[in-house]
Structure 1
Amino acid sequence: MNRLSIAAAVASLTLLAGCGSSTAPAQPPASEDALTTSAPPADAAATTTEAQQTEEAADDGPPTMPAEAKEQTEAGAEAFVDHYIDSFNYAFASANSEAMPVELSDARCQSCAGILGLIPETPKPGFTYLVVDDLRAVQSGESTIVSSDLTQSETAESAQQRGTAVFTLTWRDGWSVAEIQVEQAS
């Protein structure tokens, strides 16, 4: 993908983030901490311009969902989002959008479909494209909202970007992503 198509994919994800399958807006997380991100500490190491490498090679197969991610708890929701990102990173590294399990997201999730456009045509074994940190889950009506700090790794096509991701999950015999919202840090 060239820089323009990556930018377009990110823009489409940002635009689609507001599109949900529900007619009523999701309730915001209950705590203010779930809505804020903090700047890295002054003694934090500078980020490298090299792509992050996972400890496992991409040809080890797709990640297996951990047992905790199958629990209908806030910790289970956090583990599920972590698994969702691991699955996306595997699909990205293997350059195979079909490697992203369809059961992880609701069929009506437009923003979920939008991130599949970020998957490159050329495999990048061991590459980690998205990193989520500080996952925070809050029950909100029939949904669970999981927010996190998000880092998009630098690639030849785009610079490293940071922001906040908010995953809206629903439970129907297991977690499913209903919507993803991403706000880039300024």
Structure 2
Amino acid sequence: MRTNFRLIVSMLIISIFMVVPVVEAQSGPQQGASLTLPTVGVETSIVTAPLTSTTWDVSQLGEQVGHLEGTSWLNTPGNIVLGGHSEDIYGNPAVFSALYDLELGDPVVMSENGVIRRYIVTEIQFVAFDDLRPIYPTTHEQVTLLTCAVGTFNQSINNYDERLVVIARPVPPLPAPIRELFIDFGWLPEA
């Protein structure tokens, strides 16, 4: 009994004087964050799409992509959700109209502050406009790109009936000898 008491008191004293740094996860993109979809010619900046009561405000995105506030971000496990317009208010193609040309295996590249993250497209699907499953948190790292499905605008509700969802998973690191070979051939940057 006395040994347990000493152990508890010792642990309490240590915990009082122990300084534990608190590192908060980054909540969203910093200035200069970008998204590149090289196979379809998209290179754009990523900004925050703020959560406003029950939805995200994407009205100011223009040709940028919005990180849906509250979803995961780089350096934290989970579902990084990026939204962009497939067409502008006049029906012209917008930044995410190119999602229709992506195929399984295509690269998705995100960068911020000189750090580059590479992903590969693993799923492409259409979902109902009100289906929230694509933005649910995940235990694994992934990037979810979503946009309104062209041709599904419903004038009676002034909204789209469907969304196009593209999911990409991280590219596993290459073994050192293969990475060096790829760098030698110019297929990968040296950094």
Q: Structure 2-normalised TM-score?
A: 0.26
Q: Which has the higher strand share?
A: 2
Q: Which has the larger radius of gyration?
A: 2
Q: Which has the higher helix share?
A: 1
